[in-house]
A and B are shown apart, each in its own frame.
Chain A
Amino acid sequence: EVQLVESGGGLVQPGGSLRLSCSASGFTFSSYAMHWVRQAPGKGLEYVSAISSNGGSTYYADSVKGRFTISRDNSKNTLYLQMSSLRAEDTAVYYCQTRIAAHIDYWGQGTLVTVSS
């Protein structure tokens, strides 16, 4: 059974940092691109960042470029999102997601990040 389990969310002050993790199991993690998608409270989905299967290629939305860093450790089947210079508008549930085929799509349960003083 495929599982994506996010962790690392919590309350952080504006300007602070946080690292999210996504532990993957049930599929060959090293073969697939991974993605972070976030959802602010009561708002829609926002595509945040992506990383290729070997980590050699990354993408960032303009809203997080220069502040967030996506990475992965294929030996640990884990995806990361290092977030710095956090702002109130970064408050959201952060989901990790992968698509292992056009019709097969997996999401984690999400982890809540709250940026507030």
Chain B
Amino acid sequence: QSALTQPASVSGSPGQSITISCTGTSSDVGSYNLVSWYQQHPGKAPKLMIYEGSKRPSGVSNRFSGSKSGNTASLTISGLQAEDEADYYCCSYAGSSTPVVFGGGTKLTVL
């Protein structure tokens, strides 16, 4: 049940693009197209931003996009805005014995 690996922090200026990586293994990220990304503002519950690797729920800005290559998933936020400053978590299905594994989280700072 090892956590997925995310960078502790990333930053960018308004209008720029940033990418957050999420590295797992062939038992989780690499085996399933079931990576989700969550955004969490301080004191709030997580909000689903990306599901099934690259799909956006209704209401999520198209500035958010997801992708995967091998055992690494990525979240890209384009046209950074101040309200994007938050913590971001990836999670992946990892099989019936370990349904969900989370990444350690990445703090996004908008400079």
A binding-site residues for B, Cβ under 8 Å: 35, 37, 44-47, 50, 59, 61-62, 95, 102-105, 107-110
Contact = CB atoms under 8 A, between A and B. Distances in A.
A47 B57 contact: no
Contacts, number: 48
Given A44-B103, A47-B99, A47-B101, A107 B55 contact: no
A1 B100 CA distance: 26
Interface of B (DSSP majority class): strand
Interface of A (DSSP majority class): strand
Given A50-B99, A107-B45, A108-B45, A102 B3 contact: no
Given A102-B51, A102-B55, A61 B103 contact: no
Assign chain B's interface to a size class. Answer: 20 to 34
Contacts of B1: 61-62
Interface of B: 1, 3, 36, 38, 40, 45-46, 48, 51-52, 55, 57-58, 87, 89, 91, 98-105
Nearest to A48: B100
Given A59-B99, A95-B45, A103 B105 contact: no
